[in-house]
Amino acid sequence: MQRLVAVGQILTALMFSFFFCAGFAYCSDYDELATLELEELMDVEVVTTSSRRSEPLTQVAGAVVVLDEEDIFHSGATTLPEVLKLVPGVHVSQMDLDKWAIGIRGFNGILSNKHLVMIDGRPITSPTTGDVSWGSNVSLSDIKRIEIVRGTWTHLWGVDSFTGVINVITKTAAETQGGQSVTVAGTSGIEQSFRYGGTIGDNGHYRAYVGGWEKNGNWTSTSEDNRSSSDWSKKQGEVRIDWENAFTDSLSFQGGFADGSIKDGAGGSGRIYMPHMRDNTNAFGQFTWNRALGLDSGINFRTSYTYTDITVDDLKGGTNTVDADLEYAAEQNGIHRMTMGIGSRYYWDDIRSGTNTSIDRQRRYTFAANGFVQDRITLSEDSTYLTLGTKLDLLRNSQVEVQPTIRLLHTYEDMEFWGAISRAVRADTRWQRSGSYKINVKGEEYTVYAPDSLSTEKLISYEAGYRQRVTPDLHWDVSLYINEYDELIMLEYDKATRTASLDNSLKGTSYGVETFLEWDAYEWLALTPSASVIYQNIYGHEKSPLGNSMPEEGVAYELKVQTRIKTTDNTGFDFLIGYMKGPTDKNVPGYLCLEAHTYWKATDTLMLELIGRNLSEASEQYSSLHVGPSADLRVTWNF
């Protein structure tokens, strides 16, 4: 017993002495450092502080989420829309093999989505139909990050960004040096891509990419409908050349070409047409020049050309867009930090109408221009910022729209509070103002005629949010919004003539809340639960808007948990489980989403991944087609 007491006394002594001396050493470090002369400082060892992972932007008065390479990898996504499922408030539903219905804060109809999608600043939202050709855009392994802005930011991005912005930023050529092969094979088809990057002189880099796929998807048929698309083949190539000197300028050129075909089963949309083979060609080129002028200050010029094939039923043709933007970001000047810019877009097409589906050929050219200015005013240093901004959009028919915003951000320790009031408009698309087509409404066929007299859709948006880094491993974000809509475009039906026409008669309010937690519970376990709820009280002349992916009245919500488990340094397991109930078509029931991803980094250059999607059950996500389970193996080899 006495021996135990003695041992206890020794341990007590050692512990006490350790803490005493450690505390003494800690207190004395600063005092000692403060007394050192210049020469003595050169002998002080530098310790590094631990770095953290990429996180949502913390100095923005808005609901902004940034998905980085790690997020994209752990999602197990093989296409861009699958990555976007991670973000609360972004509704992602697959309609057919090559069609996704994606919306931000509502409006995820294939032809009525009201947000802007860009790749490196180049808009890929179609000026013709307002939709996005999600199957022909960017290789996931080339993406550096995806910035998703939920809410109204038309004061910067203009009339295309009514409810939000999705901006995909790709890696620079310098960040993709060497070779890479990515193979995806499984129940949904096979895909292969090669990428190689090298240098040009001392300051230049390039990369080239070629790829292609043959896909049939993972569709399951019902007895009523067995017309999912199939035999989707695609070949595409891209090149990027960057030049950056050690001084102030950088230049970048990007170009790409994609050609493919698909057997369109005509079952994925509300429009009525016969199944047919659909060819699709896309091409683009973009040039960017950036000059740094100071700290967080510079001039950026971007211009691009985009060609897109358009095929709707028996209507076929090609669309061309040339756009240019010039932006100036001024250095902080007292309490002001100004940003301003001008831009323009010229659009023309050559679309030949079919027998069932047609479009007016008289209005094939559109010119639009815009200018914006924004000032971030520092009300209290490092804590309170007021942002005032507006954009002027010159639309067709010389119509000018003003889209102002006022935003306030207050930060206190690890907390951020923000609020915003904005006005936004959205212009009609070429398809909405001059297209004629047939749709199915409750089993009855209607022919839609465009009046070409539509005015802009209007939105007054009230937003607020709160973010907090509760602990270094726990981050919480919540956003609330009230969107008051007026003059939204809807379809008016005439049962006698079985015709329908577009009209600005829809209005109402939507209320929503989005929240998520990022919690690194343990070194081996990270959890990201999220929830979004939207209540839409939107009405028109009809009791409830019908067809053509109109917003539905009532509550829609999504609950998701993304889990990352790191089993060893080179292996891990990720899964996403959620309940999805979209905000656009109430006839589509909510469904359970279960997706899994496991990986093994076999060597420093070889990564193997097994990806499972829709593992719970085959379900309707948006259209009457059922999306079934799938399993794919992805092999990434860097050389």
Per the structure block, which two tokens stand in for 634? 């992805």
Residue 316 CB coordination number (10 Å)? 17
Q: State which residue, 275 or 294, has the beta carbon closest to another protein.
A: 294
- Residue 189: CB partners within 8 Å, gap ≥ 6? 213, 214, 215, 216, 217, 232
Dist CA 549 CA 112 (whole Å) = 7
Token pair 């929503």 in the structure block, residue: 512
Site residues (vs another protein, CB under 8 A):
5, 9-10, 12-14, 16-18, 20-21, 25, 28-30, 32-34, 36-39, 41-49, 244, 246-250, 290-298, 331-333, 381-382
For the CB of residue 293, give the shortest distance to another protein in the complex, in Å: 5
Please, what's the b/e burial string for 1-28 (b: 16 or more CB within 10 A of its CB; e: otherwise)?
eeeeeeeeeeeeeeeeeeeeeeeeeeee
Residue type, 413: E
Q: What angle do CA 425, 135, 564 make, to 5 degrees?
A: 95
Residue 164, strand partner residues:
150
Token pair 């007026």 in the structure block, residue: 486
Q: Which DSSP symbol is given to 400?
A: E
Per the structure block, which two tokens stand in for 138? 């960017």
Q: State which residue, 41 or 496, has the beta carbon closest to another protein.
A: 41
Q: State which residue, 50 or 355, has the beta carbon closest to another protein.
A: 50
For the CB of residue 253, give the shortest distance to another protein in the complex, in Å: 18
For the CB of residue 310, give the shortest distance to another protein in the complex, in Å: 40
User: Rounded to whole angstroms, what are the CA distances from 348 to 117, 446, 547?
Assistant: 20, 29, 29
For the CB of residue 57, give the shortest distance to another protein in the complex, in Å: 16
Q: State which residue, 288 or 532, has the beta carbon closest to another protein.
A: 288
Q: State which residue, 382 or 569, has the beta carbon closest to another protein.
A: 382
Cα 390 to its chain centre, rounded Å, is 23
For the CB of residue 251, give the shortest distance to another protein in the complex, in Å: 12
For the CB of residue 250, give the shortest distance to another protein in the complex, in Å: 6
Q: State which residue, 300 or 447, has the beta carbon closest to another protein.
A: 300
Q: State which residue, 9 or 399, has the beta carbon closest to another protein.
A: 9
Q: State which residue, 26 or 224, has the beta carbon closest to another protein.
A: 26
Per the structure block, which two tokens stand in for 208? 């080239």
For the CB of residue 255, give the shortest distance to another protein in the complex, in Å: 24
Q: Where are the alpha helices (DSSP H) in 350-446?
A: 430-434
Dist CA 69 CA 50 (whole Å) = 20
- Residue 378: CB partners within 8 Å, gap ≥ 6? 332, 335, 336, 337, 384, 385
Dist CA 374 CA 158 (whole Å) = 13
Q: State which residue, 382 or 523, has the beta carbon closest to another protein.
A: 382
Q: Where are the alpha helices (DSSP H) in 59-114?
A: 69-75, 80-84
Query: Residue 236: which of 300, 275, 282 has the closest Cα?
Result: 282
Q: State which residue, 292 or 527, has the beta carbon closest to another protein.
A: 292
For the CB of residue 11, give the shortest distance to another protein in the complex, in Å: 10
As a whole number of Å, the end-to-end CA separation of the chain is 66
Token pair 């039923």 in the structure block, residue: 313
For the CB of residue 412, give the shortest distance to another protein in the complex, in Å: 15
For the CB of residue 51, give the shortest distance to another protein in the complex, in Å: 12
Q: Which helix (H) or strand (E) holds 196?
A: strand 189-200
Q: State which residue, 40 or 494, has the beta carbon closest to another protein.
A: 40
For the CB of residue 16, give the shortest distance to another protein in the complex, in Å: 5
CA-CA-CA-CA torsion sign (28, 29, 30, 36): positive
Q: Can you give the length of the chain in residues? A: 639
Q: How many Cα atoms sit within 13 Å of 214 on the Cβ side?
A: 2
Contact at 8 Å (CB) between 123 and 116? yes
Q: State which residue, 30 or 587, has the beta carbon closest to another protein.
A: 30
For the CB of residue 434, give the shortest distance to another protein in the complex, in Å: 45
